[in-house]
């Protein structure tokens, strides 16, 4: 049986609270926009795209907590079901090696692409919604900032190729994924035209 929800169930309330605490003080890259806007947008994109399972939406709200804060998957395990944790784990990029040294961008993206291509529909849905929101904000930011591409850890061409490869790897298996992928590809085309 599919769990249906709004964005205000008790599980969602817990996810919103954890994400708000974990991302407190963080902002979107090179902006003053509070980071929490991003996971909220990802959850809204998923819900609008027909994904209404509360565990999937909770994972969307939490998808960057382990990757971008000091929270661990083990800490989340005390509060969230295994299927939420599985999606968060799949979407968490290992940014540093065992010695704490930042790993090369291209290697991290290749590993992530491999994981995404083999992951569940739920993981791929959150991935695509995340990419869709990132691309949409990039299109806005590009208009406002002539030095926009310097914010990133990779050249523009590599970044756009990484997005395109990820979208193609995640789009199979469900018409809702295809729809999200097409929205991402339209935004990618818009960014390429703007540059």
Domain that holds residue 66: 10-194
Task: Give catalytic residue positions.
Answer: 67-68
Q: Is residue 1 part of a domain?
A: no
Is 8 or 60 the better-scoring residue by pLDDT? 60
State residue 1's pLDDT score: 36
47 vs 53: CA distance, rounded Å: 9
**pLDDT value at 195 more than 70:** no
- CATH code of the domain containing 138: 1.10.3210.10
Print the SS3 string covering 37-67.
HHHHHHHHHHHHCCCCCHHHHHHHHHCCHHH
State residue 143's pLDDT score: 83
- Main-chain phi, psi angles of 34, to 5 degrees: -55, 140
Q: How many domains does the chain have?
A: 1
CB 177 within 8 A of CB 125: yes
Q: Which of 3-17, 76-90, 92-106 has the highest mean pLDDT?
A: 76-90
**pLDDT value at 29 more than 90:** no
Q: pTM for this structure?
A: 0.93
Q: What percent of the chain has pLDDT over 70?
A: 95
């Amino acid at each position: 049986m599919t769990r249906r929800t709004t964005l205000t169930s008790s599980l969602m309330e817990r996810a919103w609270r954890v994400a708000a605490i974990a991302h407190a003080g963080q902002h979107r890259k090179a902006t003053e926009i509070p980071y929490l806007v991003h996971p909220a947008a990802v959850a809204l994109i998923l819900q609008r795209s027909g994904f209404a399972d509360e565990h999937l939406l909770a994972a969307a709200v939490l998808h960057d907590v382990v990757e971008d804060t000091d929270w661990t998957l083990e800490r989340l395990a005390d509060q969230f079901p295994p299927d939420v944790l599985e999606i968060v784990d799949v979407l968490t990029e290992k940014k540093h090696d065992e010695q704490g040294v930042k790993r090369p961008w291209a290697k991290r993206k290749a590993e992530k692409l491999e994981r995404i291509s083999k992951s569940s529909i739920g993981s791929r849905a959150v991935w695509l919604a995340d990419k869709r929101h990132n691309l949409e904000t990039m299109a806005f930011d590009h208009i406002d900032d002539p030095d926009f591409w310097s914010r990133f850890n990779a050249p523009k061409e590599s970044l756009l190729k990484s997005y395109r490869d990820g979208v193609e790897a995640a789009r199979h298996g469900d018409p809702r994924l295809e729809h999200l992928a097409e929205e991402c590809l339209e935004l990618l085309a818009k960014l390429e035209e703007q540059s």
